[in-house]
Amino acid sequence: MGPWQARLRHASATTTLNTYAHLWPDTEESTRAAVDVVLTARADSLRPGKA
């Protein structure tokens, strides 16, 4: 039994994941957020008056 399972008193990791998996961002969401950061920084750097 893993530490989170014990703390939450779940019998298995499956129970924990089925209950709380929606709280962790998926890979697609993480990728989208990372690309947004890069594109926003690039756009800011191209604005007139920016060094």
Q: What does the DSSP assignment read for 11-38?
A: SSHHHHHHHHGGGSPPHHHHHHHHHHHH
pTM of this prediction exceeds 0.75: no
Hey, what amino acid is at 40? T
Residue 37: the pLDDT is 92
Residue 9 lies in a domain: no
Residue 10 lies in a domain: no
The first and second tokens of residue 36, run together, are: 């947004």
Residue 7 lies in a domain: no
% of the chain surpassing 90 pLDDT = 6
Cβ atoms of 16 and 4 within 8 Å: the answer is yes
Q: What is the DSSP letter of 3?
A: H
Q: What is the number of domains present in the chain?
A: 1
Residue 48 lies in a domain: yes
Residue 19 lies in a domain: no
Mean pLDDT score, 26-39:
87
